[in-house]
Amino acid sequence: MPTDRSLDPIGVFDSGIGGLTVVAALQNLLPAENIFYIGDTARVPYGGKSRKTVERYSIEIGGLLLAERAKVIVVACNTASALAVPRMKDIFKVSVQGVVAPGAAAAVQNTKNKKVGVIGTRATMSSGAYEHAINGLDPEIQVFSVACPLLVPFIEEAMFDDKITDLMLARYLTPLLSNGIDTLVLGCTHYPLLRDAIARIAGPDVTLVDSAQNCALAVKSLLDSAGLSAPSERLGRLDVALTDATEGFLRTAARALELEIGEVSLRSVQSTQES
């Protein structure tokens, strides 16, 4: 028999809308699960903020998910995964799953020449989280990282197929490609929405890795081991809340990911000022 909490939702959050890429992977792998997603659109992006601020934001959004009876919290944000997951695991009684470790594992599995590139926000790159996670699995792998601070604003403006986006991607990726990488980690959950453009610039010899699918597998393992998996015969639903009304891009991203999103609710957050 399923436990009482098996019908409770998987809680997922991101600084904005990019975490819907993780939601899509969760729905594909775990169609019976309810998912409650919060996009902290009032304070996006997290990538330029301090560790202290990212921790505070993440704990606050995690609390909102617990208020929705989340049985596990998925941090579908690389910056928050790199900077806030350890603190969240200390505070919350439910399991907390980030996206850095699954993405690192996928990179290690895919690289043949042991040269891996990583792109992400300034905060994620400066944390060294991917280098630490990848080299913890295989210390012989060379990791080359580049911060791409302009990509999230472009994506949030739905500039998926735009010459300016392509020019910016080429500028960011050229140093990595010159180092001979054969694997590129999309170290931000927004970036898979630019996957086609990134693939064009990176070329066919570079394998693109995002953590969404591997994160979904990790969540499945967590739920199975804790006896929290929803009954397989049911069909789960997706509920979405935002901290600021930016539904336009939400709908654009949902169409790109083939997600069905009904009515969107709003959740209030505290001051956006860094303390």
Average pLDDT score, the chain: 92
Distance, CA of 181 to CA of 144 (rounded, Å)? 8
Active site residues: 77, 188
Residue ranges and CATH numbers for the domains of the chain are 4-98+213-266 (3.40.50.1860), 100-211 (3.40.50.1860)
What local confidence, expressed as pLDDT, does residue 1 receive?
Answer: 47
Distance, CA of 268 to CA of 243 (rounded, Å)? 6
pLDDT category of residue 247 using cuts at 50, 70 and 90: low
Find, among 36, 41, 40, 6, the residue nearest to 23 by Cα: 36
166-188: pLDDT as tens digits = 999 999 999 999 999 999 999 99
What local confidence, expressed as pLDDT, does residue 62 receive?
Answer: 97
pLDDT for residue 246 is more than 80: no
Q: What is the mean pLDDT of residues 73-82?
A: 96
Share of the chain above pLDDT 70, in %: 96
Q: What is the mean pLDDT of residues 223-229?
A: 96
pLDDT for residue 273 is more than 90: no
